[in-house]
Amino acid sequence: MNNEDNARRLDEIDPLPTLRGEFLIPPAPGGPYEEAAYFAGNSLGLQPRATARYLTEELADWARFGVEGHTEGRRPWVDYHELLREPAARLVGALPHEVVAMNTLTVNLHLMMASFYRPAGERTKIVIEDSAFPSDSYAVASQAVHHGLDPAETVVRLRPRDGEEHLRTSDIEAFLAREGHTVALLMLGGVNYLTGQLMDMQAITKAGHVAGAVVGWDLAHAAGNVPLRLHDWDVDFAAWCTYKYLNAGPGAVAGCFVHERHVRDASVPKLSGWWGTDPAIRFRMAPDITPPASADAWQLSNPPILALAPVLASYEIFDRVGMEALRAKSRRLTGYLAARLVPVRGVELITPESEADRGSQLSLRVPDTRGLVQRLAAEHGVIADAREPDVIRLAPVPLYCTFHDCHRVAEALTVLTAQQD
């Protein structure tokens, strides 16, 4: 049996049949296939077919009811975000009152840092990974400036050991044991956007707390990718976007988690807005805020319904399938693709080899990164993602990627890298 037949056979017998039919697959930009092999879901997920219906229903209610849609629509807008609460909680391993759908990722990180980054005395440092997504770097630097501190002295960027690609959990723990008395906030990415490394969030959170630091997580590349247990891991706060693995559309409304010990603590400072007051008295229009004992207390403005509808459509898919089943299939797909890529000349896999230490992403170091990504699309119908100067990211997302897709990208890279020699 050749590689292509084997890939098709693996698709036929997989315990979780593909949900590819529930998504709109882009046409192949080039090559012999009609549909693209889409490996950029870690950058922007594909559109569920249900999304258009959800949006159309809200537009229809707006047309029919006008302002009364807040209370009379099929999904009344006044408490629309409540529809996302329990699915979001199940997705990230939280209690329902610990999560809220609001804003975008970096806005939520700023709101969290406004509450939980409290530099005092020698405890002023913010710790991130050196290869953090740029927005996180900018955000923490601006928070330092906001507090009158020098980012060059305040922001600590953890780097892997010389010659290595990934942060070792033991090295993070050792740093915290040694320097933790200076750390006010530890805020890492749950899955590193560049290398695809999955952090040991439970162990690192514990080490951060032992050191006396607040621990928050950027879950942009983790939510919808790997199972999470934020409440049980005792995470202080977390934020995630919904347009990558969660397929809610470009710039979609993000999610936020605040541990219940904080949501029940009225002394926690926060930036406030109208929608952060108790919904039971919100429309009394009182001048003083009465925040609820939930993550809703961090809301500022009324939810954007047309932006929440695609999030609801997505969350319902994840609720139906379940993260454990998706994680199992992700391991099968990613393991298959990794095995196919190892012998390809000129390709260096920089994602951890262990399945336990990676999500649904493989990062490759290759020459002529951008040119290679362009040729993958134009000549083979494979849509991938380039990160300068020398990394291609491939995300075999289990909801809509197949073993045959993985076969296609492995064959394409074999051909193209041979032509570069």
Q: Which residues are annotated as a binding site?
A: 105-106, 133-136, 218, 221, 243, 274, 302
Whether residue 291 has a cis bond before it, omega within 30° of 0: no
b or e along 288-299 (b: 16 or more beta carbons within 10 Å of the residue's beta carbon)? eeebbebbbbbb
Q: How many angstroms separate the first and last alpha carbons of the chain?
A: 29
Q: Are 90 and 98 in contact (CB under 8 A)?
A: no
Measured distance CA(24)–CA(39) in Å, rounded: 14
Measured distance CA(301)–CA(343) in Å, rounded: 52
Task: Find, among 140, 118, 116, the residue nearest to 128 by Cα.
Answer: 140
Q: What tokens were used for 359? A: 């999500």
Reduced to 3 states (helix: H, G, I; strand: E, B; else coil), residue 394 is: strand
Q: Which residues define the annotated binding site for pyridoxal 5'-phosphate?
A: 105-106, 133-136, 218, 221, 243, 274, 302
Q: What tokens were used for 214? A: 């607040």
Residues 6+ apart with CB under 8 A from 339: none
Residue 132, sorted as left (phi over 0), alpha (psi -120 to 50) or beta, turns out to be beta
Q: Are 407 and 340 in contact (CB under 8 A)?
A: yes
Nearest-10 Cα torsion for 17, 22, 23, 28: 60
Residues 6+ apart with CB under 8 A from 374: none
Question: CA of 154: how far to CAs of 128, 145, 157, 169, 179, in Å?
Answer: 11, 9, 10, 22, 13
